[in-house]
Structure 1
């Protein structure tokens, strides 16, 4: 695999990844933070735009490729995790939990979900403590059943 980087004046940077078995994957990082992804089967062929995304979503895609969110489990745990779902939930600007800590809010006792991580400004706080303060634009990575997720949504959106 070869990676080529090219400055695109007035646009941003282009990264082209050529694979030994054929195909070229291109990512254009625009000056405004937008990312565009293209694929072409042959080096000289026209590229097909696969998607365009913002900076935050591009970071999420990169984390997935990096394996941050993947933890293989054996099949014998399927019954133990039955009904459990992991979700990424953004804290609304007007949420009553903004400025309070996880412990003060009582997220687990109030809703039944467990907070696995807090994503904040491109950083991930893994295994946050009850003293972790919740801020606007934080994204909570939580695990629980459907009822617990619904209770969390209600807690986050209650009027102040």
Structure 2
């Protein structure tokens, strides 16, 4: 499943998804801050709705649900103000490759471009761990970056 996007000069940016059931969902993020939602079913029925920014955020939260509810999951986000920069946020459980090593020693950011933004360890959860934070096997990390950066992190450290 992939989402196609294209710029619509003077209007905003359009995103389209063809579902596994044969339907098409289109979302236009308007330059004015709102959104338009279109659904076309495979049997020819269609519908649309125009949403304020607040309504669009609420609908997206309902559709996504608790996205990061399990280990080794991720989400891709596109913010309307940074629509040309899709951001990946992934949760991973670390193994022996990183055990006993600190963030600075591993050079995670300089090697992959990805950033560890949170760690859950036996000692609790830490937001924005310092470069001298030392990983243990079984730690859960929250990593942010672009798709290629996340892939590089996964390949190198998992």
TM-score grouping bracket, smaller chain normalisation: 0.3 to 0.5
In our comparison, the structure showing a higher alpha carbon Rg is 1
The TM-score normalised by the length of structure 2 is: 0.47
The TM-score normalised by the length of structure 1 is: 0.47
